Amino acid sequence: MCSIVEDDFGDEGGAHTMKEESPAPAISATTDGDELCRKCTVNPSVLKLNLKEPQCRECFLHYVRHKFRASLGATKIVRRGSRVLVVFNGCAENVVMLDMIRYGLQQESFKKLRIEPVVVFVSEDHVGREDGERLGVVQEKECVAVEDSDLLERYSEERARFNKILSGFKSATSKQDFIVQNRKQTLKVIAKRLECPYVFLSDIGLDLAKTLLSNVALGRGRSLALDIAFCDDRDEQHKIIRPMRDLNPDEIANYLKHADNELSYITLEDPFKDKPSLQNLTCKFVDGLQRTYPSTVSTVFRTGDKMSCETVKPTPEHDADQDLLSLFDKSLRLDNGSTSVRCKFCHSALDFHGSTTLFATEFSRMVSSRINVELSHEAIVESSKRMEEDARRRVNGEEVEGGDGEEDDMVQLRRELCHSCRNMFVEFSGE
């Protein structure tokens, strides 16, 4: 039986009765070299991962590379000889993934990684940074050779348009969510242009644990399983693959230290990391868990594997070449007779039909804005009945009686957006 009694809970709840995991090092311990590797029992050990036996350099590299290859081989989603878009941004996880792909391509025929990688450098210097700052750091550290370095100048109009839309959001939460969703759709467009049916991302387990909790807070529960899955197949023609999802920060740090070649990387900085947002609070919470209770982070991440998501086939209006930014500058004309089953922006299944949770939220908002304390009891009852119908219609994306012109313009858009994307558009001012 539980030995914690009611008196054990003070102002801090039961937190003082919980003990931190021991050991919980920031990085794995380094051995003195006198102990042999427990795997091969030949070479001296050079490191000891948390909850693992001491390992030599060769056994450690084989272990980490096997986890990467096993994730690809177990699912058999990526077909032999396929062109794969490898997204590169210079971060540590990205560099490790690129080195593992290089190693796999150099193996003998039996162990060779049979894909055709197409590496695309993705820079977001236009978001809160000086032009070309990240590209300059990447070239200075020689992470990868970048021949065409004038891309920022070539697409100056697109950058200005993107920044104008980004500045239209009031909160950092919506700005960060907008960047993430826009990045996914942009990668799919690039994959289509380069004829790559697969896109490799370097998200590890810690990143996906943050994504899981953040998306719950943002109201993206309907697409949560795909957002952290090994394969995001919302677009069957261009699937997003996460082959690094089984690795942890400890293994990434040691791979960079013991790799065959000297690997350089850069630290990515979120321009909104110092702003108050749901994503930043979630990341801070998960990082704290990683330092004190690392196994809990793995449990959070693995919980997502037990979730399922409704598969929705794309419709003709969800073409990959669609300009998603036109939804914000109102240059896209929507079909009033459209009956979409996927969100126009994030392409996840629509989640608002018949939602009692969204109905309760919308009804509460209407009560706060419409009910006047000076009204009689009969008037309040009559108004409540009308608000119930209006709340139901608004949740389902239908026209609300007595709405103004601006509201009527948003009726069709609300009908084609999921709950979280609706929240972004409601907050967007466009000024």
| Cα separation, 319 vs 300, whole angstroms | 34
* Three-class secondary structure of residue 327 per DSSP: helix
**What confidence tens digit (pLDDT) does each residue in 208-226 have?**
999 999 999 998 888 888 9
Q: If 0-12 CB within 10 Å is exposed, 13-18 middle and 19+ buried, where does residue 202 land? A: buried
CA angle 198, 211, 60 (to 5 degrees): 70
Which pLDDT belongs to residue 287?
93
The token pair that represents 352 in the structure block = 């608002």
Dmax over CA atoms of the chain, in Å, equals 88
Q: State residue 140's pLDDT score.
A: 52
* Strand segments (E) across 112-166: 115-121
| pLDDT tens-digit map of 380-401 | 777 777 777 777 777 776 666 6
* ∠ Cα 226 112 249 (to 5°): 50
SS3 string of the chain?
Answer: CCCCCHHHCECCECHHHCCCCCCCCCCCECCCCCCECCCCCCCECCEECCCCCEECHHHHHHHHHHHHHHHHHHHCCCCCCEEEEEEECCCHHHHHHHHHHHHHHCCCCCCCCCEEEEEEECCCCCCCCCCCHHHHHHHHHCCCCCCCCCHHHHCHHHHHHHHHHHHCCCCHHHHHHHHHHHHHHHHHHHHHHCCCCEEECCCCHHHHHHHHHHHHHHCCHHHHHHHHCCEECCCCCCEEECCCCCCCHHHHHHHHHHCCCCCCCCCCCCCCCCCCCHHHHHHHHHHHHHHHCHHHHHHHHHHHHHCCCCCCCCCCCCCCCCCHHHHCCCCCCCCCCCCCCECCCCCCECCCCCCHHHHHHHHHHHHHHHCCCCCCHHHHHHHHHHHHHHHHHHHCCCCCCCCCHHHHHHHHHHHCCCHHHHHHHHHCCCC
Beta strand 54-55 pairing with 82-88: unpaired
Per-residue pLDDT of the chain (431 residues; tens, 9 = 90+): 455 444 444 444 444 455 555 444 444 556 655 788 888 888 888 888 877 888 898 999 999 999 999 999 888 899 988 999 999 888 899 999 999 999 999 988 788 899 999 998 887 666 655 545 555 555 554 445 555 555 556 667 878 888 888 888 989 999 999 999 989 988 998 999 999 999 999 999 999 999 999 999 998 888 888 999 999 988 888 999 999 999 999 999 999 999 988 888 888 777 888 899 999 999 999 999 998 888 888 888 888 888 877 666 665 554 445 667 777 766 555 555 556 678 888 888 887 777 777 778 777 777 777 776 666 767 777 777 777 777 777 777 666 665 544 455 566 777 788 888 888 888 887 55
Q: How many residues does the chain have?
A: 431
Angle between helices 172-193 and 419-427 (to 10 degrees): 120
Q: In the structure encoding, which two tokens stand for residue 398, read together? A: 């239908």
Instruction: From residue 119, give the alpha-carbon distance in Å to each of 200, 212, 405.
Output: 10, 27, 47
